A and B are shown apart, each in its own frame.
Chain A
């Protein structure tokens, strides 16, 4: 149900459709989050791509939204057309994080964290509204969120888990598999040093 930058744009309808596909008596696992590239020089926000001499931004949508947010002066721009609505929403969702992004030592490190926080807010709203679509029997909704870290070919990508909760079909958390994780910025630095 993801779209640009990993935002769950499929929304409540997609969640409800997904819920109606859960095996009888079974459960569902929702994995979500933004992504960020780390290239072979350790640079964050870009990654080498197959057949390209210049990999470009990664995540491109996030980087574009970042540029918009730092220059838009807190102005929310509602979509005026379906044809590019998603990118408008990405920019709007990132707008509350403008100060954090502006104050960050490295905006490309702060950006995936800010996007994760924005996406978590939307995922939680979707779960609140859509959990009732999950059948009572079984009735487990695991929600695992974090940041994907893309690396050059030949290396594995990484996933930094930042939340891992299990809800019932009344949108109540029945288990927090991970306690809330302090910002592990050093992990990105460690990955950069391995590249």
Chain B
């Protein structure tokens, strides 16, 4: 759905389970690419400034510490809304995996990190489990590692550029759920987890968000109290 409709949908559904926009802290995990900032801008009137735990391709690389720091900023007796997921461009010709960009004749890949990771996992001869010790380019290495389990699906896909964001969402959703389960015990607020795929389109068309998870979990226990999808 278009960004504005997505924001309206989540705010109206969250109100049915006791969320108030003014007492909610928004946390996002979206890719660094500037084409993803319009969604955050669309969320801002409802929720104010957000806490960012996202990195390349939208993975929540801020990690458990990032989540914990964010949770410490939730308004007293308030709630938390987390919006996360990968992104994919669709250009004016309908090509998936690219989008026109301001001031450029050629838009290039979108998402660039995801496309590079897809090329890596579908051609890699072996997989290394050693984590980088230098932060200079560690994140892209992580993206490749997290996508590796999906190499078979990507190789078989009729259009890998369509399969890629779905695989990326599953990888990111898994990481997000791991972080939540590690840290929810120290959280007293209800947490909404809204995951999906951002679809970037050429200006002036609206971007879209395809929701794939919309759960509310209780702070402390982490028990799912609502599925709003």
Residues of A within 8 A of B (CB): 1, 3-4, 7, 9-14, 17-18, 20-24, 26, 49-53, 56, 60-61, 64, 78-87, 89, 93, 122, 125-126, 129
Contact = CB atoms under 8 A, between A and B. Distances in A.
Given A10-B139, A83-B64, 14 more contacts: A1-B32, A3-B61, A9-B55, A13-B137, A17-B32, A23-B104, A52-B73, A60-B69, A79-B132, A82-B146, A83-B175, A83-B178, A86-B61, A86-B62
A140 B76 CA distance: 46
B220 interface: no
B211 interface: no
Nearest to B108: A20
5 contacts: A4-B62, A9-B61, A12-B140, A23-B104, A87-B63
Contact of B145 (A7, A14, A82, A87): A82
Contacts of A60: 69, 72
Given A10-B55, A11-B137, A86-B66, A56 B32 contact: no
Contacts of B138: 9, 11, 79, 85, 89
B108 A21 contact: yes
Contacts of B135: 7, 9, 11, 89, 93, 122
A3 B139 CA distance: 11
Contacts of A85: 61, 63, 131, 138, 142
A119 B78 CA distance: 34
Given A9-B55, A49-B73, A52-B75, A86 B63 contact: yes
Interface in B38-92: 48, 55-56, 61-66, 69, 72-73, 75-76, 78
A10 B178 contact: no
Contact of B75 (A50, A78, A129): A50
B56 A13 contact: yes
B33 A83 contact: no
B62 A80 contact: no
A14 B32 contact: yes
B63 A14 contact: no
Given A24-B105, A51-B76, A82-B145, A126 B136 contact: yes
A9 B139 contact: yes
Contacts of A126: 136
Given A13-B116, A60-B69, A122-B135, A24 B104 contact: yes
